[in-house]
Structure 1
Amino acid sequence: MNTFNLKHLLLENYPIKTYDKIRYPDTDRQGHVNNSVFSTYFETGRIEFLYHPNNGFLDDSTYVIARLELDFIDEIKWPGNIDIGTAVIHIGNSSMRLAQGLYQDGRLVATAESVIVQVDQQHKKSKALTDKQKESLSHLTLK
């Protein structure tokens, strides 16, 4: 269930920001970006969040997405860039819930919530987040 509030509406409230280029092949017959591509833009934000070396909580961890909920607000038009905001909204034992926003020219076009689970690569089972990881994640919440 999407638990967004007004904080989710502004890009500046997200601690992790990145962008993606809108590609012409992302568009459909109506001339706007196809709905399926929105999840790819959100993935760009999640990957930047999870694997950027400055985020400080990785070690040699592996993460999988367990849930993705996406709300379409407005269309995206080519050409241009998409700004992506990502933040932690809940820290669990082995998982985290992320909130994300997509913006074109400062306009909110979609929101998403996802559940990301840390897994033990060898045993293919969830793996508890360390106290250090939880502490690092706690600094990446919505402002």
Structure 2
Amino acid sequence: VFATFLETGRVEILYDPAFPLAEPGSAFVIARLALDFRSEIRWPGTVEIGTRVAAVGRSSLTLAQGLFQDGRCVATAETVIVQMDEATRRSRPLSEAAVARLSSLG
């Protein structure tokens, strides 16, 4: 469930309808996910997800995330996401607009 919470936080940035980041014919894929568990998550309860852009590369970005419950950090993660061309299945450079938007979220 930790990874699902992290995915929710990533989707809010990557697929925001007001600021589409993926170029037509491309998709975002996870190249790396490092997840550190710090505490258990209790159910029922509310989990808050913090996500920030830690770095922006030519065709990739790195997100730093934290999961919080009842004021305590229960997990941290670092995720590298790559924009992939759906036809060639190879990395594809991020657009200038995507780089500008992602850089503003750092």
Q: Partners of 1:92 and 1:76 in 2: how far apart?
A: 33
User: Which residue is equivalent to 1:43?
Assistant: 7
User: Which residue is equivalent to 2:49?
Assistant: 84
Q: Partners of 1:64 and 1:81 in 2: how far apart?
A: 27
User: Which residue is equivalent to 1:123?
Assistant: 88
C-alpha displacement at 1:55, in angstroms? Answer: 3.5
User: Which residue is equivalent to 1:27?
Assistant: none
Q: Does 1:94 align with 2:59?
A: yes
Amino acid at match of 2:93: A
Aligned residues: percent identity? 53
Q: Partners of 2:92 and 2:23 in 1: how far apart?
A: 13
Q: Partners of 2:104 and 2:50 in 1: how far apart?
A: 15
1:73 pairs with 35, 38, 44, which one? Answer: 38
**1:120-139 CA deviation, whole Å, 9 max, x = no partner?**
11111100011111111011
Amino acid at match of 1:111: T
Q: Does 1:64 align with 2:29?
A: yes
User: Which residue is equivalent to 1:17?
Assistant: none
Which stretches in structure 1 are left out of the alignment for 5+ residues? Answer: 1-36
Aligned residues: 105
- Higher percent of residues as strand: 2
Q: Which has the larger radius of gyration?
A: 1
Computed over aligned residues only, the root mean square deviation of the Cα atoms, in angstroms, reads 1.3
Q: Partners of 2:52 and 2:11 in 1: how far apart?
A: 12
C-alpha displacement at 1:52, in angstroms? Answer: 1.6
- Relative to the length of structure 2, the TM-score reads 0.91
- Higher percent of residues as helix: 1
- Relative to the length of structure 1, the TM-score reads 0.69
C-alpha displacement at 1:117, in angstroms? Answer: 0.1
Say if 2:28 and 2:83, in contact at 8 Å, map to a contact too. yes
Give the match's secondary structure for 2:49: strand
1:109 pairs with 71, 74, 77, which one? Answer: 74
Say if 1:56 and 1:136, in contact at 8 Å, map to a contact too. no
